[in-house]
Amino acid sequence: MSIILIGFMGAGKTTVAQTLATDYQLGMADTDDLLSQRFHCPTGQLLTTLGEARFRQLEYQALQEVISQKISVIATGGGIIESAASLALLQATPNVFWLAVDFMTCWQRIAGDLSRPIAAQTNQKALTMRFKRRQIAYRVASNIIIEATQKSPQQLAAEIYSHYQND
Ligand code: S3P
């Protein structure tokens, strides 16, 4: 069974997945990395070029693949829950951890980041609306909520791993 990390941009999904992989010697995959390697293009650019609808389909396929390959730790893109198919797949899969981080922490990490078009092409108010809307989907998609504001990647990895072991 995989550990799957979901959450808003800047929640720390990739960093925590890498920490889990290093600290507990686990294999890891990141759906964003998978897509950028496959298409030889950074994910942000892929999203802009293909459009969000197509990007979400590809992201769903990548999620299906890494789950079926039983990769131990899977980091996802923050918008994966925008796809109904991905949301349903996550709901049907155990060990989906939502890294819940408050909006201002995410904002400080992602504001002005041109590699994240969803954040770069909007203002703080519009992004807050998206953040609020997504909170509902992250809750629906996850089985375990991890309060992740103000915790180090090592603390988060340990907390997630202990849930995983006790499951
Ligand atoms: C997105 C988040 C990004 C990446 C893409 C779209 C989003 O991943 O998948 O730019 O819609 O929230 P991160 O959550 O790793 O930034």
Ligand 1 site, residue 12, Cβ cutoff 6 A: no
Residues paired with 144 in a beta bridge: 97
pTM, to two decimals: 0.97
For 26-41, what is each residue's pLDDT tens digit? 999 999 999 999 999 9
Contacts of 123 (CB under 8 A, 6+ apart): none
Average pLDDT taken over every residue of the chain: 96
Identify which of 15, 18, 32 to mutate to test ligand 1's pocket (most ligand atoms within 8 A of the CB).
Answer: 32
Best CA proximity match to 115, nearest among 33, 54, 7, 28: 33
For 123-136, what is each residue's pLDDT tens digit? 999 999 999 999 99
Q: Which atom of ligand 1 is nearest to the CA of 14?
A: 15
